[in-house]
Amino acid sequence: MTVPLSLELPELLQAHDLTWLPPADGMPFRTCVDSDGVRWLVKLRGGFRAVRERAFSVIAQALGLSCQSSTYLRMPPQPSHWPFVPETHESTDDCQGAIRFLDEHPHPSRCDNCPFPTLNDQFRKRPNDIDLLRTSPFPNILDWPRGEMLGMLSEMHEPPGRLFTPDHRFVQIDNELMFSLHAGADLRHSPWVADRSGRVISAGLQEAIRLCQQVSSLPDTVFLDALRMPQGYCPTMLWSLREEVDRIRPRARAFLQWATQPHGFVSRHPDSRRGDNG
Q: Strands across the sheet with 39-42, in order?
A: 12-14, 70-74, 95-100, 39-42, 30-33, 19-20
Give the Cα-Cα-Cα angle 132, 139, 212 (nearest 5 degrees).
70
Q: Is the pLDDT of residue 273 over 80?
A: no
Residues 107-125, mean pLDDT to the nearest whole number: 86
pTM for the model stands at: 0.93
Residues 57-77, mean pLDDT to the nearest whole number: 98
Q: Could you report the per-residue pLDDT of 196-248, keeping only the tens digit for each?
A: 999 999 999 999 999 999 999 999 999 999 999 999 999 999 999 999 999 99
Q: Which helix (H) or strand (E) holds 95?
A: strand 95-100
Q: Is the pLDDT of residue 270 over 50?
A: no
Q: Could you report the per-residue pLDDT of 198-211, keeping only the tens digit for each?
A: 999 999 999 999 99
Assign 266 a pLDDT band (cuts: 50, 70, 90): confident
Q: Which of 183, 160, 154, 181 is nearest to 250 (CA)?
A: 154
